[in-house]
Chain A
Amino acid sequence: MKKALISALAAGLFAVPALADTVRMGTEAAYPPYNFVNDNGDVDGFDIDVGNLLCSLADLDCTWVKNDWDSIIPNLVAGNYDTIMAGMSITAERDEIIDFSEGYLPPDPSLYAALEGTDAGVLTSGVVAAQTNTIQAGYVAESGATLVEFATPDETISAVINGEADAVLADGAYIQEQIEATGGQLVSMDSVMIGGGLGIGVRESDTELKAKLNAALAQIKKDGRLNDLIIKWFDDESKAIY
């Protein structure tokens, strides 16, 4: 094993650079339908499909890396992987730290969900759960409701089901999937428009990769393949605007 490691490292060190560049793609793998681990234990979802398509067009050799949402930007910046495709909305705040490609999904309205029969007043005065460091968490913090943050999206849903929080705010597609998964315990409430659509996060210093991804993105927007993927995963014509 150790020998294998050393020889693998040596081979990597001294080999002539391969034709296709290797790109490591960071994702959270816990936010269906954007990204999740499927029954076989592989990463799957809209982000993964789009990413793989872009890689094949840009002639990049891509591997997926799972990383907690909490540290997904720090680990990009530290160089543990080269892109983030994790249902991440483009925001001015994030854009100060990292760079984004062109958008690959138009802004998805965020949805509140709560137990059936919940009074709509809780959305502004109750306890609302959101995932840490998301645009939704920022929105709730300023909405007057009490924000309770969780590290994973899963936990935000559980918090509402078990009554710890009155409502949850997350991306519409995720909320709808969870409403279905929890068998009607939850109902959707108001929707709010926040964020600027999804983009691929790259390091600011990585202008070359960003250009490659943007070129490939323009191509799949033009030939309709991105729209096909949007319809495949979100089943919503209104989002297939490219």
Chain B
Amino acid sequence: MSCGQTLIDYGLRSFGIGERLLPKTDITFCEQFVLIGSGMLWNIYFAVCALALGFIFATVLALGKASSHPWAQKSAGGFIFFFRGTPLFIQFFFAYELFVQLPRNGFEFAFLGTDITVETRWLTKAWAGALVVLWLNTSAYTAQIFYGALRAVPAGDIEAAKAYGMTGAQRFRRIIWPNMLRLSWASYTNEAIFLFHATTLVFFSAFPAWRQQGDALYYASYFAEQTFNPFIPYPIVAFWFVLGTLVIIGLFGLVNARLNRHLPSAPKIRYRPRLIR
């Protein structure tokens, strides 16, 4: 079978498109490379969705933690403490066990005279359940980064904005928020990279792979078990992830340049370590 055919058969296998059965005998390098690459789509899906949702929630959490309202401060702080203080790996296990306890037929309740059913069953599936965990987890880490940046926004900038007669909302949108992003962007880039790496844990914790649709590491371990040779599939995963990491660094670098375009030269991003949480 040619490699082009393999690409057609297995290129989208991780989403259930293409050949139904995984290769079992006479596994070629091409099959490993394509199928593991196909699994990468899940890692990208989890990373992009969790980061996008987490960005919004983290802003809210950071504002909550920085607010003077004791209730907002406590709840945001507690949320951040819980997710930053425990391992993501166990959060996955716990969340899965929690999601399966939810009623199978969903919650039914009356709202404004109409009966509403909240479906909960999909939460036990990786695409939703694991995404929720990753989303909350990255929100907590990002919120902590944003919180630190919020406190570092120059007081003079805010005073100047007040002097210009800006309202609170205007001040936030035009002064505080851009400053917060600019100051936290280097740390946030690190968070994005490590969230991307953490997506490999999804199918290694409790979430089952439906119809053998899994992420890059899921297929890599499948091949390692089928071929009894871990020395090919794992380096392939490594290759894909190095590639992905470089793309993240590139994209975030572009945003960084835009955030700092008013400065004579944009501060360079330094990547600091932060792996599995």
Binding site for B on A (CB under 8 A): 70-71, 73-74, 77-78, 97, 133, 141, 146-150, 155, 158-159, 162-164
Contacts and interface: CB of A to CB of B under 8 A. Distances in A.
Contacts, number: 37
B253 to A, nearest CB: 39
B124 A164 contact: yes
A149 B209 contact: yes
A148 B210 contact: yes
A163 B104 contact: yes
Interface string B185-221: 0000000000000000000001011111000000001
Given A146-B211, A148-B211, A155-B208, A162 B228 contact: no
Contacts of A71: 225
A77 B228 contact: yes
B277 interface: no
Nearest to B226: A74
B142 to A, nearest CB: 31
Given A148-B211, A162-B124, A78 B228 contact: yes
B121 A70 contact: no
Contact of A149 (B21, B212, B221): B212
B225 A148 contact: no
Given A141-B21, A147-B212, 19 more contacts: A70-B221, A70-B225, A71-B225, A73-B225, A74-B228, A77-B228, A148-B208, A148-B210, A148-B211, A149-B212, A155-B206, A155-B208, A158-B100, A162-B100, A162-B101, A162-B104, A162-B124, A164-B100, A164-B208
Given A70-B225, A73-B225, A147 B121 contact: no
Contacts of B212: 147, 149
Contacts of B225: 70-71, 73-74, 133
List 6 A-B pairs, minimum CB-CB distance, nearest first. A163-B104, A162-B100, A164-B124, A74-B225, A150-B208, A77-B228
Nearest to A161: B100
Nearest to B100: A162
A115 to B, nearest CB: 10
Contacts of A141: 21
A158 to B, nearest CB: 7
Contacts of B221: 70
Bin chain B's interface residue count.
10 to 19
Q: Which secondary structure characterizes the binding site on chain B?
A: mixed
A149 B124 contact: no
Interface in B96-121: 100-101, 104, 121
Contacts of A149: 208-209, 212
Nearest to A70: B225
Given A74-B224, A74-B225, A164-B124, A159 B211 contact: no
Given A162-B100, A162-B101, A162-B104, A146 B224 contact: no
Contacts of B121: 163-164
A162 B98 CA distance: 11
19 contacts: A70-B225, A71-B225, A73-B225, A78-B228, A133-B225, A141-B21, A146-B210, A148-B210, A149-B208, A149-B212, A158-B100, A159-B208, A162-B100, A162-B101, A162-B104, A162-B124, A163-B104, A163-B121, A164-B124
Contacts of A159: 208
B91 to A, nearest CB: 18
A163 B122 CA distance: 11
A41 B206 CA distance: 23
Contacts of A164: 100, 121, 124, 208
B228 A147 contact: no
A71 to B, nearest CB: 6
A147 B211 CA distance: 6
B225 to A, nearest CB: 5
Nearest to B121: A163
